[in-house]
Amino acid sequence: MSDRSHVHLVEVSRANNPFPQGGVEVDPGGVRRYSHLPQTLVDVLKSRVIDSANIEAVVEVNGGRLTYRELWERACRVAGGMYEQRVREGDRVALRYPAGLHWALAFWGALIAGAVPVAVNTRSTEPECEFILQDSEATLDLNPDIPLPDGQPFRPANRRASDFAAIFYTSGTTSRPKGVPTTHEAFITNAENALRCFGLPRDVGPKLRTLVSAPLFHVTACNSQFLLTHYLGATSVILPALHLPTMFETIEQEDITLLVTVPAVYALMLRHDRFDSVDVSGVRWVGYGGAPIAPSLATALKKAFPESATFNGYGMTETASLITVLPDSDAETHAGSIGFAVPSVDVAIAPLGDDPAVGELLVRGANVTSGYWNRPEATSEAMVEGWFHTGDVVTVDNEGRLRIVDRIKDVINRGGENISSIEVESVLVSAPGVRDACVIGVPDDVMGEKVGAVIFADASLDLEVVIAHCSSRLTDFKVPQFIAVVDKPLPRNAGGKLLKGKIRGDVRWGDPLR
């Protein structure tokens, strides 16, 4: 059992929360829930077949297209094919298809059959995939060598809002990945949160066309884009692999109105020699998340997409995506913030010291998982008295905006001084010539740890300029003493988070700079 105590838990006030709160009720357990949502994802799709039958539901770039009627009819046949392969209600079906129509049809087919799709990271090695297949006890493994199931159309199974709809696995950057069972209610709650917090008109329908450029095994792409469009009768345009020239062409040719990706990709887009010739006048919403954004990049996005509202979304696999959103009105003035809690989520801080406004972020809500798949110890550690411990250290301002200080495990302790790696990374990425940065502790016999930085930079990088830039913005002991420069992008997971374990293992530090 966890030894965490909530004696000093500090709940964050919603007094200044800018998002619509109507229709949210608090159940007897203190959990915020929307009172009038469809029961299941299958109900969502069925309603789209009724009111948006001929609207494009899914487009695969350089592939096929499906209207809502076509998606439903083909997915019912996929469900029938799964049934013929002995898939039954509640069984797990592993999805290893690349992002595209096959993935979409397999996902919806499994749901119609009453099964639980398991979204597998397609970048995983075979042993890593084998672990997930065994851990989830998958009945069917839909890998790229397996044809999409096909059979007689299946009558949708009867499921409830509280039933598991899918399992997504955590990135496993520090240990074995953990399965996160996600209910139908959690998925639909996230869609409603995204609708409200992104500032989307409820009747936007086919005017919303989002470019899904992140893998669908990641909750941002699946939950806050792919499923959001189906919730609204809109269109998901899926890019199977990130390729900037293709991305630019797709924005124009497919009339994209919503973009969502990580800050590093936006930085590459804006620096690309073709970007200035791309017509982005139709883009109305620009979202980002997964990593800190430099204030200069936030400003550059507003300039590059002048017709768009921009927003920062923060979330986790365990919360079916969104926890907080920074609205367009704060995009430039509070670029370092992750914003305010979405309507279905309560947030609290478990102070780590004397300051009650600094501590570990805890969350509770209808979109938050009840625990990990087959991991009782991990569940009891993360879920305490109904609150999920995120592992992120945050601060809160007087208005209720949150800012991530660091991951608890990534705080650098230099001679008793705690240093936020994220704070130093944010300063580094705003330095001339720096494209990306990772800050980690370098073991030291005297100080315990010193600050080290691995940076991906332009050929014109001048380290003296970078150090001067940091020295003018950071306390002396926070300025990196070790810097390693690499000539390729830093490794990140599908959600845009730095793979610090891999970077620690690969980096070779030279002599200290000072």
* Three-class SS state of 190: helix
Q: Poorest-confidence range of 34-43, 170-179, 190-199, 272-281?
A: 170-179
Average pLDDT score, the chain: 93
Q: What does the pLDDT read at residue 2?
A: 47
| Phi, psi (rounded to 5 degrees) for 122 | -70, -10
* Distance in angstroms (rounded) separating the CA atoms of residues 69 and 234: 13
Give the pLDDT score at 346.
Answer: 97
pLDDT at 6 over 80: no
HSE value, Cβ hemisphere, 13 Å, CA-based, for 278: 25
Please compute the mean of the pLDDT values over residues 252-258 and round it to a whole number.
Answer: 98
What does 115-177 look like in DSSP terms, one character per residue? -EEEE--TTS-HHHHHHHHHHHTEEEEE-TTSPPP--SPPPPP---TTSEEEEEE---SSSS-
Structure letter (DSSP) for residue 478 = G
How far apart CA 266 and CA 319 sit, in angstroms, is 25
Residue spans per domain, the chain: 42-404, 412-506
Residues 6+ apart with CB under 8 A from 448: 413, 414, 415
Q: Which CATH superfamily is domain 412-506 in?
A: ANL, C-terminal domain (3.30.300.30)
Can you give the pLDDT at residue 177?
Answer: 87
Mean pLDDT for 190-212 is 98
Across the range 306-316, mean pLDDT stands at 96
What pTM does this model have?
Answer: 0.86
Section 245-272 average pLDDT: 95
Mean pLDDT on 222-245: 97
CB count within 10 Å of CB 206 equals 17
Q: What is the pLDDT of residues 277-299, one digit of tens each?
A: 999 999 999 999 987 788 889 99
Q: Token digits for 107?
A: 């996902």
Task: Tell whether the torsion through CA atoms of 406, 494, 118 and 49 is positive or negative.
Answer: positive
Predicted confidence (pLDDT) per residue in 329-384, tens digit: 999 999 999 999 999 999 999 988 778 888 999 999 999 999 999 999 999 999 99
Residue 417 pLDDT more than 90?
A: no
Amino acid at 25: E
**% of residues, the chain, pLDDT over 70:** 97
pLDDT in tens, 472-501: 999 888 999 999 999 899 998 777 778 888
pLDDT at 457 over 50: yes
So what's the pLDDT on residue 447? 77
Within 13 A of 485's CA, how many CA atoms are on the CB side? 13
**What does the pLDDT look like over 18-37, one tens digit per residue?**
999 999 999 999 999 999 99
CATH architecture, range 42-404: 3-Layer(aba) Sandwich (3.40)
For residue 5, what pLDDT band results from cuts at 50, 70 and 90?
A: low
Model pLDDT, residue 114: 98
Give the tens place of pLDDT for each residue, 119-173. Answer: 999 988 888 899 999 999 999 999 999 999 999 999 998 999 999 999 999 875 4
Q: State the pLDDT at residue 410.
A: 81
Q: What's the Cα-to-Cα distance from 37 to each of 4, 40, 320, 451, rounded to whole Å?
A: 34, 9, 16, 48
79, 85, 114 from 88: Cα distances, Å? 10, 9, 7
Q: What is the separation, in whole angstroms, between the first and last Cα of the chain? A: 45
pLDDT value at residue 7: 58
